[in-house]
Amino acid sequence: MKGNQVTIKDIARQLGVSASTVSRALQGHPDISEETKRAVNDLAAKLKYQPNAIALSLKNQRTRIIGVIIPEIVHYFFSSVISGIEDVAYNAGFNVIICQSNEKFDRELSNVKTLIAQRVDGILVSISKETIDFQHLQQIVNNQIPLVFYDRVAPGIFADQVIINDMEAAYQATKHMIDQGRKRIAHFAGPQNLLIGQQRKEGYLKAVREAGLEVDPRYIVEADNYEKAQRAILNFVTEGNLPDGIFSVNDITAIGAMKGLQKQGFKIPDDVALVGFSDGRFSGITEPSLSSVDQHGYEMGITATEMLLKRILENKTDYPPETKVLEGDLIIRGSSRL
């Protein structure tokens, strides 16, 4: 932002009129003569004048910027969410600032500070795996900045949220394996401080219990990435208690399990059935292809942003927070089909 960008003053000076006239001409204000308008617009085009968004923000007390806090952009689910957010924001004339927390609490804290300092008009948040303290998020609410949580919500914060029906989807995923005759189903679970981690485990438990199967605590392992899944598989094998089905909290964990099992010579789905979660770009690519729950990231981004824009544009902080629940869709593929 060096000093050589064209301002309204430059145009005013060159045309021998006042800045306000230029401002009005640019806005097509009816008071201004056609002649002046033409002169102003021509010169503006010639000089490639771009209004200074910062000055406008300061004046108008709104930035037309939406801040997004996202755990990790490299995941297909999260980048689809971003696409949804951007599409809606873009159509409404809003810009988007994306901040990655990298799953770190400290970084998330700093992200919130940044977005407040930038005076964004609204904030979309999916909390990090580490986040167990929510003061910074409360701070957003206190500052009366519209806030919508997507996917990973913060308990106790009075704000809109859009989530998927994690418990039901997890239940369906597990039940599907049971329906195929599996008896010893394990769960590779996510962090239990995240609601999604709890809910997916709950759904799993519900299906197991409902089928009258035993809940074996050795079969519930906190494993939410490739490496942990591999290690868990190795444990199962050495201890001689291999499950015949595994429901994983996400796809990459399911793939870690798949690779680990195949390395040990087991066949998928014959020996062990696998179902993941999120339906990333991986699912169709593994051999066999991976059953998974489609989490509809793009739609989630759209919905969250629409909710946020509603708060921003209608300027309503009075009505109570809404929670929208999207349905996750179980996609059955080779890894769990007999």
Partner DNA sequence: ATGAAAGCGCTAACAG
Partner DNA sequence: CTGTTAGCGCTTTCAT
Q: Give the footprint of its own copies on this chain (CB under 8 A).
A: 1-5, 48, 50-55, 57-58, 61-63, 73-74, 76, 79-80, 82-83, 86, 90, 95-100, 102, 110, 113-114, 116-121, 139, 142-145, 255, 259, 281-282, 285-287, 315
Strand-strand pairing, 329-331 and 292-294: antiparallel
Specify the residue, 3 or 155, whose C-beta has the smaller distance to DNA.
3
> Tokens at residue 336, please?
């769990």
Closest CA relative to residue 167, chosen from 202, 212, 118, 132: 202
62 touches, from its own copies, DNA, none (C-beta below 5 to 8 Å by class): its own copies
As a whole number of angstroms, the distance between CA 35 and CA 20 comes to 16
As a whole number of angstroms, the distance between CA 330 and CA 28 comes to 53
* Binding status of residue 16 toward DNA by CB under 7 A: yes
Closest CA relative to residue 152, chosen from 291, 304, 319: 304
Q: How far is the CB of 84 from DNA (least distance, A)?
A: 30
As a whole number of angstroms, the distance between CA 249 and CA 142 comes to 33
Q: How far is the CB of 234 from its own copies (least distance, A)?
A: 18
- Residue from 24, 75, 136, 201 binding DNA (CB under 7 A): 24
Q: How far is the CB of 83 from its own copies (least distance, A)?
A: 7
Q: How far is the CB of 18 from DNA (least distance, A)?
A: 3
* Binding status of residue 143 toward DNA by CB under 7 A: no
* Binding status of residue 144 toward DNA by CB under 7 A: no
Q: How far is the CB of 129 from its own copies (least distance, A)?
A: 17
Q: Is the dihedral of CA 159, 162, 163, 164 positive or negative?
A: positive
User: 126 and 149 in contact (C-beta within 8 Å)?
Assistant: yes
Residues 38-77 that bind DNA (CB under 7 A): 49, 51-52, 55-56, 58-61
As a whole number of angstroms, the distance between CA 284 and CA 279 comes to 9
Q: How far is the CB of 59 from DNA (least distance, A)?
A: 4
User: 258 and 264 in contact (C-beta within 8 Å)?
Assistant: no
Specify the residue, 34 or 239, whose C-beta has the smaller distance to DNA.
34
Q: Cβ neighbours of residue 110 under 8 Å, at least 6 residues apart?
A: none
24 touches, from its own copies, DNA, none (C-beta below 5 to 8 Å by class): DNA
Which span sits near DNA by CB under 7 A: 19-27, 132-140, 209-217, 279-287?
19-27
SS3 91: helix
Q: How far is the CB of 44 from DNA (least distance, A)?
A: 10
Length of the chain: 338
DSSP H/E element including 292:
strand 292-294
239 touches, from its own copies, DNA, none (C-beta below 5 to 8 Å by class): none
Strand-strand pairing, 160-164 and 323-326: parallel
User: What residues line the site for DNA (CB under 7 A)?
Assistant: 3, 5, 7-9, 16-21, 23-24, 26-27, 29-36, 49, 51-52, 55-56, 58-61
